[in-house]
Amino acid sequence: MKLWAAFLALVTLLGAGSFAQDEPSKPQTLLERAWDLSNIRSSSAPAFQLKATFTAITRELSTLEGTYTETWVSNTQWRRETVVGASRRLEVAGAAGRWLVNSGPPLPIEAQRFSSLLELSPPWWQDFTFQPISDHDVNGVAIRCVVTLPEDTGERYALCFYKDSGLLMQTTMPKTIGSHLGDYSCLYTGYQKFWEFLFPRDLRCLQEGHRKLEAKIVELSLDPFPDPELFIQPAGATELGNEEHPIPRRRLPESDMRFPF
């Protein structure tokens, strides 16, 4: 809670920081190191089951309580289920293909994006050139941040890392707010060891300073012998392609990138 309160007070973090003297390739090195430390879905990782609970705030300011369950064996064999009340989203990948089942009322976008927030490797980071690293100290917590270089579109994305461990601390990217775009930032805390990796147990997201999502990993355990029936085509499923869902690049306002934590 202390770390959370400290980061809530920061709204112009990058504008006040000094840049570290690192080689140009260092931002990519930071990203790759953080990914290696936390990639529980790597080819060398064991099969696992992950369970999480979350609270999401919709655009209509309704509060939703939900659960997320993932059984993972490999990049081609996994099952992810998100449930909010009577709404259910099930994604399954198996030897014969990949499928999606949506049942009940449509899940709000805040719940639909939850599984992507647990990837810890934003799909957009390889598409950008980053500015030099900026180092900061927040109530004794040393962090390192990188921001994309502005392009003709004015788009900016950013990531911050815990300086001592190299673990991912925060992601910031543009999201639609009504008729304009604003920053959507997520803070990752409570890292614990799982196998040879470190994975966060707490996740909190804000959009333009307003709380949008809070989640807690309640279980992350080895599951060496999952039921093979979990990875076959579910009844009523729609078959999907093999490509991941890309996050569209969007324009941010011209003001400095803000860090609400």
- Run means of pLDDT, 10 residues per run, the chain, 261 residues: 47 40 66 94 95 90 93 96 95 95 89 88 78 87 86 75 95 77 89 97 91 96 95 92 46 41 45
Per-residue pLDDT at 151: 63
Per-residue pLDDT at 105: 92
Per-residue pLDDT at 150: 64
Q: In the chain, which ranges are E strands? A: 18-19, 48-57, 63-74, 77-84, 87-94, 97-103, 134-138, 141-147, 158-162, 168-177, 180-189, 192-194, 197-199, 202-207, 210-222, 238-240
Per-residue pLDDT at 10: 41
Per-residue pLDDT at 8: 47
Per-residue pLDDT at 153: 61
Question: In the CATH scheme, what is the code of domain 19-240?
Answer: 2.50.20
Per-residue pLDDT at 188: 97
- Nearest alpha-carbon partner for 146 in 251, 30, 252: 30
Please tell me the pTM assigned to this model.
Answer: 0.83
